[in-house]
Structure 1
Amino acid sequence: MSRPTSQSEDFCPGKYEQATGRTTELFSVLPPEAVQSVAEEVLSRLAARDRPPGQTQVVAPSEETLVDLCRSLTSKEPDAAARIAQEALAKGATIDDLYLHYLAPAARMLGQWWTEDDLSFMQVTTATARIFAILRALDRHDRPAVPRTCRAALFATVPGETHTLGLRMAADFFRRKGWDITLELGLPHEALVDRIAAARPVLIGLSAAGAHAAPALARLIVALRMTVPVPVIAVSGQIVHEARDVVAATAPDDLITDMDEAEVILARLWDGHISRLKCDPVPRD
């Protein structure tokens, strides 16, 4: 369990503001049913979190505090919920405390209010954007170890995508260039997220053949940002041309528009990220 730290060490207001803006932008360019899918993804994935084995039980916040947190997440004040998180950190809460005893119960409570029609669709999407932004603003210190020298990546088609030839060819191309490529094709959403979470890759390449895959891509990237430690995500395929506004709003680390630039972009992403990992301080116990 992480030692208590001050809010300045573990909560980045700049990341919170950036993530809030990007998630709001994403919701503005997705159809309503896709927004609902992404909102459900965030709430259900967070609500399902449980205390890691062996972790000491802490004093949970009161029911009143959780209600205040939920109301802050849906209020007109954009920073109200973030302040609650920062105040908890300042009083000695750990990152795991915030995840397991504040945000996860709040997600369950919001889900119940939504089911009971006590929240509007707009309030749910607002709360979802703020929860996701808080998660992005927290430094969990669970970075993967610096991997071996060989460049490696996991390539996957977006769930529901049936056009796989281009990604197969890309995988073969990179393997000939000496990359260690894991290829995942045709997996449904949950199976793909579970497979990637287990593999814990540094670099993930997602591909889709057109705008039809935009909702699935948005949901997938949100899920990966919540489950994979510090992933670097690149998006390729015809979707980059047909739905560039949606793809950009999902905030991937880069976009690939043709094979000629793919190797340069992925090599830059890999080398830059590994350099940052090598320079990072050792994670705190």
Structure 2
Amino acid sequence: MAGWTTNRQAKRPPQRRRAELDATLTGSERSADESLTLDALLAARRELNDEPQPLSRPRAGPQEQLTRLVEAEIIPRLMLLHRPPPLAACPAAPVFAPTQAHVTTLSTLAVHDDAQAAVLYVHSLVELGATHEQVLLDLLAASARHLGVMWEEDFYSFSEVTIGLWRLQRVLHDFAHLEPPPLTGVAAGRRCLLAAVPGTQHTFGLAIVTEFFMRGGWEVDSHPQASWEALRAQVAREHFDVFGLSISSGECIAEIVSGILDTRRTAANPRLFVMVGGPMAALMPDLAQRCGADAMASDASTAVALANASLPSRVRGV
């Protein structure tokens, strides 16, 4: 009987034998003359897979036949149904996104806690995935602006804001040493002079801009407390490609116009590119036109992009 069944299977096309095998496994109806024993079912499966037939042996009992069927057919199909998805289908790890709560916490630590608390807090956010640019712009610069708002609303005193900004400066200095700026870049070999309007009390924003320029490949000379006379003398004595000025008040626009005009006249580089920015950039969209500058940047990354665009095409590699 077993040999007859096997020979009968061999005469059928592989497609029909496969259909019979699937119908048996799924419980589909079939005629009585086409019913298969478990041994015949396994034999047909070996034929389809080009597996060698085993040596003749005594006919297995119902329990052994059932075990062999489960091992050969049922378990492999269940494994295919429940196998884990490929790695490409797994969702990506969440990206860190700074929030106002992070900014507020950092500002509070900088003002009220010990000097190391703000440093440790920023390091913890870096471990959560905060990028270098997020630390500089979305955390440190944003915290400095938040302290300014708290000062204007009389929530913090001038001394508290000064302490807070000093501690943020320490965080910036500590963080900058973790990832040194590159030695090459689009502006490699180009120089910029960065300064604040003489008399400016808080210049933390200028430190952020300085860090961005250094990481953009610029050679930076930063003077947050220099006088107009000192700035003009340095620009006249040395070759700078860009002169950037941070403006925090609109009360000295006339002074700034005069200072920029005199700086241009005495500059060693007749094509000196003058750019303005700082807190007043958010309040005066036409700040560059008012001051006689070539461009205005609302943040540090924009400042670097404008400075790079000002370079001759042979330097930019265009």
TM-score (norm 2): 0.37
Q: Give the TM-score, by structure 1 length.
A: 0.41
Q: Which structure has the greater CA radius of gyration?
A: 2
Larger RCO, structures 1/2 (Cα 8 Å, 6+ apart): 1
